[in-house]
Structure formats: C-alpha cells, structure tokens
C-alpha cells in the first residue's frame, strides 16, 4: 500500500510517498481502507523534530492522527464493526506509532466510531482529533449551564468545535478570533466576538478554553474561575484563584461515537478547506504552518499526485 513516510526529522520536503506492506489487523483490531485523513498542528511538531521527546518509535514513520474510511477486514475478536462499515478514528500517532496518512490503517476497534451518516465520508476526517480535544477540554472545564465561556482561536479546528459544543450546552460563548473571522464565529454560536485580547472586558468570563496560545486571555476570567489550555508551548499561569489546567487529547472511540451523532444532528459542522494527495502532504504542512487556513486540510490517499 502507499503511505506518506518521514525518514528523518526536517522540513516538509522530508515527507515522501513509499510502498509499505498492507497492515494485517491483529486481535481486537480492524483494518480500515482510508477515505481521508487530516493534517493537524501536531504533525508539524513531529515532522520538524520539535516533538521528538514525545515520539515513542523510530523511522520510517507514518504521520497523521485522524481517519475516516471503510472497514476492510476485522481481526480476531474484533466484533464492534463489520466489513464495509463507515468509521472514523483517532490514533495517537506519537504514542502508538500508527499514522493515518496511508491507504490502509490497522488499529484497535475501540478507537473507532461509526462515521456520521450524512455527507461525504472524507469530510468526517475533520472530526476525530479536533472534536475529541474540544469535548474532553470542555468536560475538564465542567461549566454550569448559563456560564460564560471564552474560547480563543474560536474559528480554528479545536476552537470551532468547542464553540459549537458549548453553545449547544447553553453556555454564553465569547470568542477571540482574527479580524475578518467575526461572522464565522457568530455562525458557530458565539454570542460576543472580539478580535483583540485587550478588548475583552476583565473578569467577564467564568471559564476560558485557550486554543490560540494566548495566555493573557486569563485576564478575562473572573477570580476563582476555571481555565484549560491545549497549547503547552504557551501555558496559562495560574492567578487570582483560577483553576488552570493543560489538556492533551486522549483516544476514545466511545466519545467519538457521540460526536459523530452530533454531526448527524447538525450540532457540529465539518469544515474542510482543501484536499491533498499522499504526495502533497508536505504542501498541506506548509499551508497549515503559515496560518490563516479556515477548515481542515484533508489527505485523500486515492488522489493521484
């Protein structure tokens, strides 16, 4: 099978298509024929070597955490899915060594969920990592209905899902976005939208979800409030009795099942910017690193060069 392989840390040019053996699903695993995967900021961190300390396996490496596809084969004792089922999954590639930028991926069936029934299966690859991160971070924040939540980077992949999930839970969402993204943030469910951190009234939010790496946003949280960041390079610094946490996404097929249903229910929207081939994953890395993309960058292994 074809896969995009990293043989050495470095720039996007290090990513190259290679022929690898098709994985064989082990006990409790499913083999998925990939319809699409997605590029996430973590892929750039891994490729460049900045995340080397967190990578548990050697070269050559297949990157990618998200996948949407069709079950091609079930391993022994894998009973949750049948051949032909449409699934989504997140593989914590740095920990498991199982990357998704490939034609086929074998992984534990407990990491997978039925894909949303509605729409192009490829678009579902926008959901797993960003959706799980947003949902798990919100659970950690544990806001009460009616609380005010500030989301930074609110039209980003993680921030966008967080705004939608929070609005659906009856929270009053404040959004910090780049100038020009105000309407997009409102469309996701934000009630108040700011394009400059300094414009957000001090202590106006009960809690903060920082996806933009904007630690100064803590000033917008009331004394004794709660805050979660997912950007370890720009952590929040606890102050004024605010409960401050850092969150790292965890694999969770059960939670992904619920998120997939929320897509079908129209609570979550899948935003896709562009689709790349396995041979052009490096271009997707360049685009994501440059900033300004709105919607996920997907990889379709069936596309030619």
Ligand X SMILES: NC(=O)c1ccc[n+]([C@@H]2O[C@H](COP(=O)([O-])OP(=O)(O)OC[C@H]3O[C@@H](n4cnc5c(N)ncnc54)[C@H](OP(=O)(O)O)[C@@H]3O)[C@@H](O)[C@H]2O)c1
Identified binder of ligand X from the candidate list 102, 212, 275, 281, rule CB under 6 A? 212
Residue 234 Cβ, how far from ligand X at the closest point, in Å? 8
Cβ nearer to ligand X, comparing 130 with 172: 130
Should residue 248 be labelled a site residue for ligand X when binding is judged by CB under 6 A?
yes
- The reply to whether omega before 298 is within 30° of 0 (cis) is no
Cβ nearer to ligand X, comparing 205 with 230: 230
Site residues (CB under 6 A) for ligand X, limited to 147-176: 152-153, 155-159, 176
Please, is 103 exposed, middle or buried when counting C-beta atoms within 10 Å of its C-beta (0-12, 13-18, 19+)? middle
Site pattern 33..62 for ligand X (x: CB under 6 A):
-------xxx--------------------
Cβ nearer to ligand X, comparing 17 with 200: 200
Residue 37 Cβ, how far from ligand X at the closest point, in Å? 14
Should residue 235 be labelled a site residue for ligand X when binding is judged by CB under 6 A?
no
Distance CA 34, CA 82 (A): 15
Identified binder of ligand X from the candidate list 43, 109, 135, 214, rule CB under 6 A? 214
> What count of residues does the chain have?
305
Q: Strands (DSSP E) along the chain, which ranges?
A: 2-6, 15-19, 29-39, 61-62, 66-74, 86-90, 104-108, 112-114, 148-152, 172-176, 192-194, 205-210, 221-229, 243-246, 272-276, 296-299
Please, is 34 exposed, middle or buried when counting C-beta atoms within 10 Å of its C-beta (0-12, 13-18, 19+)? buried
What is the torsional sign of CA 282, 287, 290, 291? negative
Should residue 222 be labelled a site residue for ligand X when binding is judged by CB under 6 A?
no
Which residue lies nearest ligand X, judged by its C-beta? 156
Should residue 304 be labelled a site residue for ligand X when binding is judged by CB under 6 A?
no
What residues line the site for ligand X (CB under 6 A)? 40-42, 129-130, 133, 152-153, 155-159, 176-178, 211-214, 230-231, 247-249, 291-292
């Amino acid at each position: 099978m074809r896969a995009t392989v990293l043989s050495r840390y470095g720039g996007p040019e290090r990513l190259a298509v290679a022929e690898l053996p098709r994985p064989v699903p082990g006990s409790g695993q499913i083999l998925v024929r990939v319809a699409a995967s997605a590029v996430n900021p973590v892929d750039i961190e891994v490729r460049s070597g900045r995340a080397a300390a967190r990578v548990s396996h050697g070269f050559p490496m297949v990157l990618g955490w998200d996948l949407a596809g069709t079950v091609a084969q079930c391993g022994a004792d894998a009973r949750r899915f049948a051949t032909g089922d449409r699934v989504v999954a997140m593989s914590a590639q740095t920990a498991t060594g199982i990357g998704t930028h490939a034609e086929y991926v074998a992984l534990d069936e407990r990491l997978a969920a039925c894909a949303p029934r509605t729409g192009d299966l490829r678009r579902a690859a926008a959901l797993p990592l960003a959706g799980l991160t947003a949902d798990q971070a919100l659970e950690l924040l544990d806001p009460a209905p009616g609380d005010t939540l500030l989301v930074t980077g609110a039209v980003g992949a993680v921030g966008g899902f967080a705004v939608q999930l929070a609005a659906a839970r009856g929270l009053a969402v404040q959004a910090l976005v780049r100038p020009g993204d105000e309407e997009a943030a409102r469309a996701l469910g934000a009630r108040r939208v700011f394009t400059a951190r300094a414009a957000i009234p001090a202590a106006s939010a009960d809690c903060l979800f920082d996806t933009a790496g904007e630690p100064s946003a803590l000033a917008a949280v009331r004394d004794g409030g709660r805050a979660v960041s997912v950007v370890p390079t720009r952590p929040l610094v606890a102050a004024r009795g605010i409960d401050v946490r850092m969150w790292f996404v965890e694999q969770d097929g059960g939670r992904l099942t619920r998120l997939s249903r929320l897509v079908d229910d129209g609570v979550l929207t899948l935003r896709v910017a562009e689709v790349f081939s396995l041979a052009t994953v490096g271009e997707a890395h360049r685009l994501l690193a440059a900033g300004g993309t709105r919607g996920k960058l997907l990889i379709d292994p069936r596309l030619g060069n």
